[in-house]
Amino acid sequence: MILSLLILNKAGGLVYHRDFSNTFTKLSSNDYLVLAGTFHGVHAITARLSPFGPSSGGTPSSGLEVMESEHFRMQCFQTLTGTKFLLFTEPQQPNVDVILRRIYELYADYVMKNPFYQIEMPIRCEAFDRHLMAYIKPKQ
């Protein structure tokens, strides 16, 4: 079961939020913004915690990727442009990375290629919603 998708822009602002299930308690919309901002900060910290960072000749760490609890699993996929996709699922959900990659493709197609979408701004693209739902629904 896929629970929720959040998309964060480069600056850590929440630009998209969608729930796919009614089984959990919702936060207020302001709390989602705070959650996104907090995650952005935590992610930046975790990216610098790696002992094999650039200063020791390694590649930069990607930062926090997965957080698991008894009730949910949160996976973060950060693109090379700095956009973050956070997917909340039930812990036993398989192939989360495949799902995230597919969502990224939908984003590239229906958000970025929409000439009237302004980069870094909140996503209000009906075609994206539609294709996202069509992709997620059969998996539930």
Partner 1 sequence: MSATKAARMGEEVWKTRIDKVNAELVTLTYGSIVAQLCKDYEGDYLEVNKQLDKMGYNIGLRLIEDYLAKTAPQRCVNFRETAEMIARVGFKIFLNITPTVANWTSDNKQFSLVFEENPLGDFVELPDDGRAQNELWYSNLLCGVLRGALEMVQMQVDAHFVSDTLRGNETTEMRVSLVRYIDDELPQSED
Site string for partner 1, 9-48 (x = CB under 8 A): -x---------------------------------x--xx
CB of 91 to partner 1, least distance (A): 25
- The CA distance from 72 to 82, in Å, is 24
What is the total count of residues that contact partner 1 (CB under 8 A)? 20
Comparing CA positions, the residue from 65, 78, 92 lying closest to residue 3 is: 92
Cβ-based nearer residue to partner 1, 1 or 112: 112
Q: Which of 49, 108, 121, 134 binds partner 1 (CB under 8 A)?
A: 108
- The CA distance from 83 to 100, in Å, is 12
The type of residue at 44 is A
